[in-house]
Amino acid sequence: MSRLTVKPLERFLHRRVLRRWRAAASRAQSAPLSRLRKQRARARELKRYLDELAFVADSRLALPLQDSNAMQVPHDSDWAWRPEAWRGPLSPNGIAAVQNKTGFGSQATIFHDCDISEMTLRQLRNQRQSDLAPFGVRMDVFRFDGSFLSVVLDLPHESVQGLKKRHLVRMDAVVETEKPLEIFVRLNVKHGPNTDQIVRELPLGQDEVMVEFDLAYTKINEKRVERMWVDLIFEGPEMNQIVLRDLTFSRQPRAEF
Protein backbone atom coordinates (compact mmCIF):
# COMPACT_ATOMS: atom_id res chain seq x y z
CA MET A 1 0.00 0.00 0.00
CA SER A 2 1.39 3.38 -0.93
CA ARG A 3 2.07 6.07 1.64
CA LEU A 4 -0.60 8.31 0.03
CA THR A 5 -3.44 5.91 0.93
CA VAL A 6 -2.41 5.21 4.54
CA LYS A 7 -3.72 8.43 6.11
CA PRO A 8 -7.15 8.38 4.40
CA LEU A 9 -7.56 4.75 5.46
CA GLU A 10 -6.61 5.63 9.05
CA ARG A 11 -9.15 8.47 9.07
CA PHE A 12 -11.84 6.16 7.66
CA LEU A 13 -11.16 3.50 10.32
CA HIS A 14 -11.08 6.12 13.07
CA ARG A 15 -14.48 7.53 12.02
CA ARG A 16 -15.91 4.01 11.85
CA VAL A 17 -14.71 3.17 15.37
CA LEU A 18 -16.10 6.48 16.69
CA ARG A 19 -19.51 5.78 15.11
CA ARG A 20 -19.56 2.31 16.65
CA TRP A 21 -18.85 3.52 20.19
CA ARG A 22 -21.17 6.53 19.82
CA ALA A 23 -23.99 4.16 18.87
CA ALA A 24 -23.17 1.81 21.74
CA ALA A 25 -23.20 4.72 24.22
CA SER A 26 -26.56 6.00 22.94
CA ARG A 27 -28.13 2.52 23.29
CA ALA A 28 -26.59 1.67 26.68
CA GLN A 29 -29.79 2.48 28.61
CA SER A 30 -31.82 -0.11 26.66
CA ALA A 31 -29.15 -2.67 25.68
CA PRO A 32 -29.49 -6.24 27.01
CA LEU A 33 -27.36 -6.80 30.10
CA SER A 34 -25.35 -9.59 28.42
CA ARG A 35 -24.33 -7.26 25.59
CA LEU A 36 -23.72 -4.36 28.00
CA ARG A 37 -21.41 -6.51 30.10
CA LYS A 38 -19.26 -7.36 27.05
CA GLN A 39 -19.21 -3.74 25.90
CA ARG A 40 -18.17 -2.56 29.35
CA ALA A 41 -15.22 -4.98 29.39
CA ARG A 42 -14.11 -3.83 25.94
CA ALA A 43 -14.57 -0.17 26.84
CA ARG A 44 -12.46 -0.54 30.00
CA GLU A 45 -9.72 -2.31 28.06
CA LEU A 46 -9.73 0.44 25.44
CA LYS A 47 -9.85 3.18 28.09
CA ARG A 48 -6.72 1.81 29.78
CA TYR A 49 -4.66 2.34 26.64
CA LEU A 50 -6.29 5.66 25.82
CA ASP A 51 -5.54 6.96 29.33
CA GLU A 52 -1.93 5.80 29.03
CA LEU A 53 -1.54 7.53 25.66
CA ALA A 54 -3.21 10.73 26.95
CA PHE A 55 -0.99 10.79 30.04
CA VAL A 56 2.23 10.47 28.04
CA ALA A 57 1.03 12.93 25.39
CA ASP A 58 -0.04 15.55 27.96
CA SER A 59 3.23 15.07 29.79
CA ARG A 60 5.35 15.59 26.67
CA LEU A 61 3.27 18.49 25.35
CA ALA A 62 3.01 20.30 28.70
CA LEU A 63 4.94 23.41 29.58
CA PRO A 64 7.83 23.68 30.16
CA LEU A 65 8.84 22.15 26.86
CA GLN A 66 11.51 19.85 28.27
CA ASP A 67 10.93 16.11 28.48
CA SER A 68 9.02 15.36 31.70
CA ASN A 69 11.85 12.97 32.62
CA ALA A 70 14.48 15.73 32.36
CA MET A 71 16.08 16.18 35.76
CA GLN A 72 19.35 17.22 37.32
CA VAL A 73 20.87 14.27 39.16
CA PRO A 74 24.44 13.32 40.10
CA HIS A 75 26.34 11.96 37.13
CA ASP A 76 27.01 8.61 38.83
CA SER A 77 23.33 7.83 39.49
CA ASP A 78 22.21 4.32 38.53
CA TRP A 79 18.51 5.15 38.99
CA ALA A 80 16.47 8.37 38.83
CA TRP A 81 12.75 9.04 38.95
CA ARG A 82 10.14 11.79 39.13
CA PRO A 83 6.70 10.85 40.58
CA GLU A 84 3.71 11.05 38.26
CA ALA A 85 2.13 14.07 40.00
CA TRP A 86 5.08 16.17 38.79
CA ARG A 87 5.34 14.41 35.42
CA GLY A 88 1.89 14.41 33.86
CA PRO A 89 -1.71 15.57 34.48
CA LEU A 90 -3.77 13.77 37.12
CA SER A 91 -7.52 13.26 37.11
CA PRO A 92 -8.93 14.72 39.24
CA ASN A 93 -6.25 17.38 39.52
CA GLY A 94 -7.56 18.81 42.80
CA ILE A 95 -9.14 17.70 46.07
CA ALA A 96 -10.99 19.85 48.62
CA ALA A 97 -11.39 18.94 52.32
CA VAL A 98 -8.74 16.22 51.92
CA GLN A 99 -9.62 13.22 54.07
CA ASN A 100 -7.18 10.85 55.78
CA LYS A 101 -5.73 8.18 53.46
CA THR A 102 -6.75 10.08 50.32
CA GLY A 103 -4.88 9.04 47.21
CA PHE A 104 -3.55 11.65 44.79
CA GLY A 105 -2.84 9.75 41.61
CA SER A 106 -1.53 6.20 41.98
CA GLN A 107 1.73 6.99 43.82
CA ALA A 108 0.87 9.52 46.54
CA THR A 109 -1.36 9.22 49.64
CA ILE A 110 -2.16 11.92 52.21
CA PHE A 111 -2.35 11.00 55.90
CA HIS A 112 -3.56 13.18 58.81
CA ASP A 113 -5.62 12.91 61.99
CA CYS A 114 -7.75 16.06 61.73
CA ASP A 115 -11.34 15.86 62.97
CA ILE A 116 -12.35 18.47 60.40
CA SER A 117 -10.23 18.76 57.27
CA GLU A 118 -9.54 22.28 56.05
CA MET A 119 -6.94 21.29 53.48
CA THR A 120 -6.94 21.42 49.71
CA LEU A 121 -4.56 19.72 47.31
CA ARG A 122 -4.12 20.75 43.71
CA GLN A 123 -1.85 19.96 40.79
CA LEU A 124 -0.68 23.06 38.95
CA ARG A 125 1.12 23.73 35.68
CA ASN A 126 4.71 24.97 36.01
CA GLN A 127 5.40 27.83 33.63
CA ARG A 128 8.66 29.31 34.83
CA GLN A 129 11.60 29.07 32.46
CA SER A 130 13.70 27.47 35.19
CA ASP A 131 11.21 24.64 35.85
CA LEU A 132 12.20 21.19 34.66
CA ALA A 133 9.01 19.48 35.85
CA PRO A 134 5.89 20.16 33.77
CA PHE A 135 3.68 20.09 36.88
CA GLY A 136 3.82 20.99 40.55
CA VAL A 137 1.64 20.25 43.59
CA ARG A 138 0.14 22.91 45.88
CA MET A 139 -1.23 22.20 49.34
CA ASP A 140 -3.27 24.85 51.17
CA VAL A 141 -3.77 24.26 54.89
CA PHE A 142 -6.13 26.48 56.84
CA ARG A 143 -7.19 25.55 60.39
CA PHE A 144 -5.37 22.38 61.45
CA ASP A 145 -6.62 20.51 64.53
CA GLY A 146 -4.54 17.36 64.04
CA SER A 147 -1.16 16.23 65.33
CA PHE A 148 0.41 15.09 62.03
CA LEU A 149 0.26 15.65 58.27
CA SER A 150 2.24 13.59 55.80
CA VAL A 151 2.35 12.71 52.11
CA VAL A 152 3.50 9.16 51.38
CA LEU A 153 5.17 8.48 48.02
CA ASP A 154 5.55 4.90 46.82
CA LEU A 155 8.83 4.48 44.95
CA PRO A 156 8.75 2.13 41.93
CA HIS A 157 10.17 -1.38 42.00
CA GLU A 158 13.19 -0.21 39.97
CA SER A 159 14.35 1.74 43.01
CA VAL A 160 15.18 -1.46 44.91
CA GLN A 161 16.52 -3.57 42.06
CA GLY A 162 20.17 -4.21 42.91
CA LEU A 163 19.92 -2.03 46.01
CA LYS A 164 22.97 -2.34 48.29
CA LYS A 165 24.02 -0.91 51.64
CA ARG A 166 26.68 1.09 49.79
CA HIS A 167 24.00 3.11 48.02
CA LEU A 168 23.03 6.70 48.76
CA VAL A 169 19.39 7.57 48.09
CA ARG A 170 18.84 11.24 47.29
CA MET A 171 15.74 13.44 47.10
CA ASP A 172 15.85 16.81 45.33
CA ALA A 173 12.99 19.26 45.71
CA VAL A 174 11.92 22.73 44.65
CA VAL A 175 9.81 24.07 47.51
CA GLU A 176 7.91 27.32 48.07
CA THR A 177 6.10 28.13 51.34
CA GLU A 178 3.97 31.06 52.38
CA LYS A 179 5.66 31.09 55.79
CA PRO A 180 8.46 29.00 57.34
CA LEU A 181 7.75 25.48 58.52
CA GLU A 182 9.67 22.25 59.12
CA ILE A 183 9.51 19.43 56.59
CA PHE A 184 10.99 16.04 57.47
CA VAL A 185 11.67 13.27 54.98
CA ARG A 186 11.59 9.65 56.13
CA LEU A 187 12.93 6.90 53.88
CA ASN A 188 11.45 3.44 54.54
CA VAL A 189 13.10 0.27 53.21
CA LYS A 190 11.19 -2.98 53.65
CA HIS A 191 13.31 -6.14 53.66
CA GLY A 192 11.58 -9.36 54.61
CA PRO A 193 9.49 -8.81 57.76
CA ASN A 194 11.55 -5.76 58.78
CA THR A 195 11.48 -2.10 57.77
CA ASP A 196 14.45 0.22 58.27
CA GLN A 197 13.86 3.98 58.47
CA ILE A 198 16.07 7.04 58.11
CA VAL A 199 14.78 10.55 58.86
CA ARG A 200 16.27 13.79 57.54
CA GLU A 201 15.07 17.39 57.78
CA LEU A 202 14.68 19.21 54.50
CA PRO A 203 16.99 22.27 54.71
CA LEU A 204 14.59 25.02 53.60
CA GLY A 205 15.61 28.62 53.02
CA GLN A 206 16.20 28.37 49.30
CA ASP A 207 14.08 27.11 46.41
CA GLU A 208 16.15 24.05 45.45
CA VAL A 209 17.00 21.73 48.34
CA MET A 210 18.06 18.11 48.77
CA VAL A 211 18.55 15.37 51.36
CA GLU A 212 20.61 12.17 51.19
CA PHE A 213 20.10 8.84 52.93
CA ASP A 214 23.17 6.66 53.48
CA LEU A 215 22.05 3.03 53.57
CA ALA A 216 25.34 2.04 55.24
CA TYR A 217 23.71 3.14 58.51
CA THR A 218 20.85 0.68 58.12
CA LYS A 219 20.62 -3.03 58.80
CA ILE A 220 18.90 -3.95 55.54
CA ASN A 221 19.20 -7.48 54.22
CA GLU A 222 20.28 -6.84 50.62
CA LYS A 223 18.90 -10.18 49.47
CA ARG A 224 15.41 -9.53 50.85
CA VAL A 225 14.73 -5.90 49.92
CA GLU A 226 11.14 -5.64 48.67
CA ARG A 227 10.18 -1.97 48.37
CA MET A 228 10.91 1.62 49.38
CA TRP A 229 8.63 4.53 50.14
CA VAL A 230 9.09 8.08 51.43
CA ASP A 231 7.07 10.06 53.97
CA LEU A 232 7.05 13.86 53.64
CA ILE A 233 6.11 15.06 57.14
CA PHE A 234 4.93 18.65 57.60
CA GLU A 235 5.29 20.15 61.10
CA GLY A 236 2.98 23.05 62.01
CA PRO A 237 1.32 23.40 58.59
CA GLU A 238 -1.60 25.55 59.80
CA MET A 239 -2.45 28.66 57.72
CA ASN A 240 0.21 27.94 55.12
CA GLN A 241 0.49 27.33 51.41
CA ILE A 242 3.11 24.77 50.39
CA VAL A 243 4.08 24.39 46.74
CA LEU A 244 6.30 21.51 45.65
CA ARG A 245 7.38 22.68 42.21
CA ASP A 246 9.45 19.58 41.60
CA LEU A 247 10.37 16.36 43.35
CA THR A 248 12.93 13.84 42.09
CA PHE A 249 14.68 10.81 43.52
CA SER A 250 17.97 9.23 42.54
CA ARG A 251 20.37 6.55 43.72
CA GLN A 252 24.16 6.62 43.68
CA PRO A 253 26.61 3.84 44.63
CA ARG A 254 29.24 5.07 47.07
CA ALA A 255 32.77 4.72 45.75
CA GLU A 256 34.53 1.61 47.03
CA PHE A 257 38.09 1.87 48.35
* pLDDT value of position 67: 52
Selected residue with higher pLDDT from 138 and 66 = 138
Confidence of residue 49 (pLDDT cuts 50, 70, 90): confident
Q: How far apart are CA 206 and CA 199, in angstroms?
A: 20
pLDDT of residue 73: 82
- CATH class (in words) of the domain with range 79-253: mainly beta
Domain ranges of the chain: 3-61, 79-253
Q: How many alpha carbons lie under 13 Å from residue 164 in its C-beta half-sphere?
A: 9
Average pLDDT over residues 21-43: 88
Q: Is the pLDDT of residue 186 over 90?
A: yes
pLDDT in tens, 118-147: 999 999 998 877 788 889 999 999 999 999
**Helices (DSSP H) in the chain: which residue ranges?**
3-26, 33-61
Q: How many residues does the chain have?
A: 257
Distance in angstroms (rounded) separating the CA atoms of residues 162 and 222: 8
* In contact, 137 and 124? CB cutoff 8 Å: yes
